[in-house]
Amino acid sequence: MDMLADRVFETASARLKMMDRMLQDGRCPKCENEDGSLVTTDIWWWCSGFYPGSLWLTYEYTGDKELARLAARHTEILSPIQFRTDDHDVGFQLGCSYGNGYRLTGDTTYRAVICNGAHSLATRFNPAVGCTRSWNNDRWHFPVIIDNMMNLELLFLASELCGDSSLYDIAVRHAVTTMKNHYRDDASTFHLVDYDPETGKVLRRQTVQGFADWSSWSRGQAWGLYGYTMVYRYTGKKRFLSHAEKIADYIIGRLPDDGIPYWDFDSDSIPDDYRDASAGAIIASALVELGTLSDDEDRSTEYLATAEKILRRLASDEYLSEPGSDSGFILRHSVGNKPGNDEVDTPLTYADYYFLEAFIKYMKNQKLFLRMGVAPLNKGLSRSDWSLDRISVNRAHQGRTGASARFPSGKPRQ
């Protein structure tokens, strides 16, 4: 995997720098048109944090200062988001950009943005419902989408950074409510639950971006898996670990042989249907982490093996952008919103971000356990191991005697 990771981050470095040259000031990448031309957005689109996040992650791996400079520039244009109260996705927007920036630089102005952003997000919490509201529009009364689990990370992080336990409490309450009302008995999730904002009663369960209300929209399953794994990382509460494991087992049971999900597990066009690389990347990142957190040895092994299978497939010529192409994206073949016929079979910034994150986590896991002299499975990384830059994965500064040289038979030296 380490040679593959080197190749991935070499590609990422070239692509992300190219993307910077293609972007006008204040614009963010969104996807590609059918002719391969770049579609951009302003900073308010929910995905604006992923490109700076990918720059930070690639800097983390390569140590290339040029990437850090670009990451800071593309992070800092998002500053107005910290006061945004009209949407839940401030968590994605600020967490991937300022969150990684703070983790890697310790810049205290970044910490202030994270704390402001979390307090803006917390204004969307309704105690009668027990959730933060996802979208503002008249189509629903109080919509909460499964994707919103991801935004809880900003609340947990800010709770630690600015010492405000109310942010932690909101995040836990949202996770508990969502576990109760979004999930079906088989551990698959609905996309959207609409609540009565006065009483907290569930009014409707449905899809927006999936195949049908009853179906399993792949990215929704991925957000939930990642979300509950992350909530366990911050809280240490076993009920969240157990829920994440159930979701993982469900997802693994429904993945095609090569590990990359169709855009909806229940689409009626399978096998002649689109894959969603973004769902694959999110699942891989979550499984790498869950594989280290699970107390169950068999599950750990299966989660890490599945993550590795997905990452190897995403890093193949089928998905990784061609070296000579003029795309600023890293991965092909994601699906944003199939029912809306928007972003179908295109690169997407969050596919790139979670793909890189999964590789970094995977390499950290290998390196940490090599250092500890134990097998890189099932030993439970602590939160600080993941979130602080204690374990460098920067192979460029280690010469070529990386993990594979010390890992000849797939097992670390004892």
The answer to the question of residue 219 lying near ligand GLY (CB under 6 A) is yes
Stretch 309-348 residues interacting with ligand GLY (CB under 6 A) = 336
125-126 and 38-41 strand pairing: unpaired
From 87, 89, 276, 352, active-site residue: 89
CB closer to ligand GLY, 209 vs 267: 209
- Is 89 one of the catalytic residues? yes
> Under rule CB under 6 A, how many of the chain's residues touch ligand GLY?
4
CB closer to ligand GLY, 67 vs 145: 145
Distance CA 310, CA 287 (A): 10
143-145 and 131-132 strand pairing: unpaired
Which residue from 11, 75, 159, 209 is in contact with ligand GLY, where contact means CB under 6 A?
Answer: 209
Q: Is 114 helix (H, G, I), strand (E, B) or coil?
A: helix
Number of residues that make up the chain? 414
E strands present in 165-302: 192-195, 202-206
Smallest distance, ligand GLY to C-beta of residue 336, A: 6
How big is the CA angle at 303 (ends 246 and 189), to the nearest 5 degrees?
Answer: 30
CB closer to ligand GLY, 30 vs 219: 219
Q: Is 223 part of any known ligand binding site?
A: yes
Annotate each residue in 121-160 with x if it binds ligand GLY (CB under 6 A) or - if it does not, as one string: --------------------------x-------------
Stretch 32-91 residues interacting with ligand GLY (CB under 6 A) = none
Q: Is 213 part of any known ligand binding site?
A: no
Distance CA 56, CA 62 (A): 10
Q: Is 401 part of any known ligand binding site?
A: no
Token representation of residue 279 = 């769902």
CB closer to ligand GLY, 67 vs 192: 192
Distance CA 52, CA 76 (A): 9
Q: Is 186 part of any known ligand binding site?
A: no
The full DSSP string for 126-168 is: ETTTTEE----STT-SSEEEGGGGGGHHHHHHHHHHHT-HHHH
Smallest distance, ligand GLY to C-beta of residue 348, A: 9
Q: Which residue is nearest to ligand GLY (CB)?
A: 147
Distance CA 189, CA 384 (A): 30
Smallest distance, ligand GLY to C-beta of residue 279, A: 9
CB closer to ligand GLY, 159 vs 188: 188
The Cβ of residue 274 has, within 10 Å, a number of other Cβ atoms equal to 18
From 147, 194, 264, 352, active-site residue: 147
Do residues 262 and 273 make contact, with C-beta atoms less than 8 angstroms apart?
yes
- Is 389 one of the catalytic residues? no
Residue in the structure block whose two tokens are 């809880």: 152
Binding-site annotation: residue ranges for substrate: 89, 147, 207, 219, 223
Binding-site annotation: residue ranges: 89, 147, 207, 219, 223
> Under the rule (CB under 6 A), what is the footprint of ligand GLY?
147, 209, 219, 336
Which positions are annotated as active-site residues? 89, 147
